[in-house]
Structure 1
Amino acid sequence: MTGFIKELLLDSGETLINVPTDRPTLVALGFSEARADELCLDAERVAKSVAVGAARRALYVAEADPLFLEWQYDETPEKEKAWRDKVAEIKALYPLPDRT
């Protein structure tokens, strides 16, 4: 997956923006192969996290928020359960990536 590192600090103290996350580019910038691999993996994790967050937000707006509003209006345990179940369903459908 080729993406971009939003901001990258070089050993020289110089900050680069929107650096391609491919190993040859990072090695050419002076990073070791191991560090280049780490940077690529970190960028991939960030991209996955952003994608999961966007997918969750879209479903919350489309499916969970209307149920929340119904619960706020009716204040019944059934409406609250429907809303909470929908939120749990969305979280299960799009789990957050591991931070390890």
Structure 2
Amino acid sequence: MTISIKSAVTPSGEQLINIPADVDILKNLGFSAEQAAALCAEAAKSIQLENSIAARRTLYVTEADPLFLEWQYDETPEKEKAWRDKVAEIKAAYPLPNRT
């Protein structure tokens, strides 16, 4: 899968959309090597975030939500713990990238 940059403004002020996240292409468009690397890193981070959110959403629906419903029905500490443990497991398996 090719990573693309959703939108960027070139140093000359031109608005671009769906640019391949490739340093050489970005340099040919007028970005410095540092700017190109930063844009590529940000695109990769964005893809990682989207993938983690999608994976979490799927696992919450298929694995955590049924445990939550069991807890809501039974109202026992064991069922609550099972649900919370599953949520923590999913979050650990698919961490969100740092937003710094």
Q: Identify whether the pair has TM-score above 0.5, normalized to the shorter chain.
A: yes
Alpha-carbon RMSD across the aligned residues, in angstroms, is 1.5
AA of the residue aligned to 1:53: I
Distance (Å, rounded) in 2 between the aligned partners of 1:27 and 1:13: 15
* Runs of 4+ off more than 4 Å: none
The answer to whether the 8 A contact 1:2-1:22 is kept is no
Task: Tell me the secondary structure at the aligned position of residue 31 of structure 1.
Answer: coil
Partner Cα distance (2:25, 2:2) in 1:
11
Helix, strand or coil at the partner of 1:6: strand
- What is the DSSP-based 3-state SS (H/G/I as helix, E as strand, rest coil) of the residue aligned with 1:11? coil
Is 1:86 paired with 2:86?
yes
Mapping of residues 26-45 of structure 1, within 5 Å: 26-45=26-45
1:59-70 correspondence to structure 2 within 5 Å: 59-70=59-70
Long gaps (5+) in structure 1? none
Shift of 1:2: 3.7
TM norm structure 1:
0.90
**Same amino acid, percent of matched pairs:** 64
Please tell me whether residue 53 in structure 1 is matched to residue 53 in structure 2.
Answer: yes
Pairs aligned (count): 100
SS at match of 2:18: strand
Per-residue deviation at 1:52? 1.1
Q: How far apart are residue 78 of structure 1 and its match?
A: 1.5
Give the equivalent residue in structure 1 for 2:22: 22
Contact between 1:56 and 1:94, CA under 8 Å: does it hold in 2? Answer: yes
Give me the whole-angstrom Cα distance separating, in 1, the residues matched to 2:68 and 2:17.
40
Q: TM-score, normalised by structure 2?
A: 0.90
Flag structure 2 segments of 5+ consecutive residues without an equivalent. none
